[in-house]
Amino acid sequence: MATKHKVIDRKNILVTGGAGFIGSHLCDALVKDHHVICMDNFSTSTVANIEHLLQNPNFEFINHDITQPFDLASYPELERFKVKFQGIQEIYHLACPISKRHFEQFKIATVLTNSIGVKHVLDVAVANQAKVLYASSSVLYGPRQAERPYVSEGDPCFIDHLTSRGAYDEGKRFSEAILQTYADVYGLDVKIARIFRTYGTRMKLFDGNLLPDIINNAIDGTDIELHAPEDAKISLCYVSDIIDGMVRHMNTPIEITVVNLGSDQEMYLSSVAAMVTKLVESSSRIRFQVSSHPFSEPALPDLTKARQVLGWIPLVRVEDGLRQMIEYARSRRQQQNAF
């Protein structure tokens, strides 16, 4: 195993998938105190999410597909971070194609990213003796069960790996297995954050995601069609709270591995839609539609471990988070209409 590198002034931190929705917010938080290397190939992300960071001397973007091997010390643009001498101290691994509307297009990429891509990231971690935090998902717990609405980290994972979304769902579970294997064999300090439904600015506006669709309909004054029963409920955690939890998780001792991050509070989906129409001052009507794809909400996270170990709880009120999303959506729509 490589000799542990000496930190000169700032840590060198790699964020894969750093141009995505959550990844770009993570880069924003980390670049304040560290050197951030953002790696992405823009398969389902956008340069607009990190454009404001490109001139920051403590930030560097690398366009690379992690399904291909990489050596950060070979990039001349990273010489100012002294990567050859200092190495990489931390890796936040978020890279995974995510597109609700175009999921079929990225199935093979999803399988490869959640297998060989994870291996390549962990090989870099081994070479640098870097800590790794992996952005996993609440989908591992399977659909919410009436007898167990809350799930804790020690609960079994129930998923059907042969569904049309198996490339993502099983991919996340397999990725966790790879991480644990590398931890066992190489002594890596790996963290697994199982992230529940997250919302906020930089979510894709026109990709079939629930909240952006509601906001777009409200801004346009068109009917808000909810493909769910009238008593459907939803839990929402704002992206800045998730980022805070991930950073706290990375800083825990090596004994801490899996932690749930999300909101354990839920509200009626109709109430969320009504809140959006009120904030937008929209005349949109809320309608419920029968769907061939039943509305399914994952189990709620038991946050006992997050509270006790990370000292973490979600702080952003849903109304405040929605207000920021609405402002972002209006701004982005105006920019797109200008071209």
Residue 312 is part of a domain; what is its CATH number?
Answer: 3.40.50.720
Report yes or no on 66 lying in a domain: yes
Host domain of residue 79: 12-199+235-263+296-316
Residue with tokens 């954050």: 193
Report yes or no on 281 lying in a domain: no
Question: Is residue 3 predicted with pLDDT exceeding 60?
Answer: no
* CA proximity to 45, closest of 72, 71, 69, 27: 27
Report yes or no on 223 lying in a domain: no
What phi and psi values does residue 59 have, to the nearest 5 degrees? -130, 140
Report yes or no on 210 lying in a domain: no
DSSP 308: I
The 10 Å Cβ neighbour count of residue 291 is 12
Among 92, 168, 182, 199, the active-site one is: 168
Alpha helices in the chain (DSSP H): 21-30, 83-86, 107-112, 118-128, 166-186, 210-220, 239-250, 269-280, 304-305, 318-337
Lowest mean pLDDT, pick from 5-9, 207-211, 304-308: 5-9
Residue with tokens 């929402």: 236
Banded pLDDT at 7 (limits 50, 70, 90) = low
Whether 75 is a known active-site residue: answer no
Report yes or no on 26 lying in a domain: yes
The 10 Å Cβ neighbour count of residue 190 is 24
pLDDT tens by residue, 34-90:
999 999 999 999 999 999 999 999 999 999 999 999 999 999 999 999 999 999 999
The token pair that represents 147 in the structure block? 């007898």
Report yes or no on 271 lying in a domain: no
Report yes or no on 331 lying in a domain: no
Which residues lie across from 63 on neighbouring strands? 40
Report yes or no on 181 lying in a domain: yes
In contact, 198 and 308? CB cutoff 8 Å = no
Question: Is residue 212 predicted with pLDDT exceeding 90?
Answer: yes
SS3 (DSSP) at 48: helix
Average pLDDT over every residue of 323-330 = 98
pLDDT tens by residue, 300-318:
999 999 999 999 999 999 9
How many structural domains is the chain composed of? 1
Lowest mean pLDDT, pick from 147-161, 274-288, 306-320: 147-161
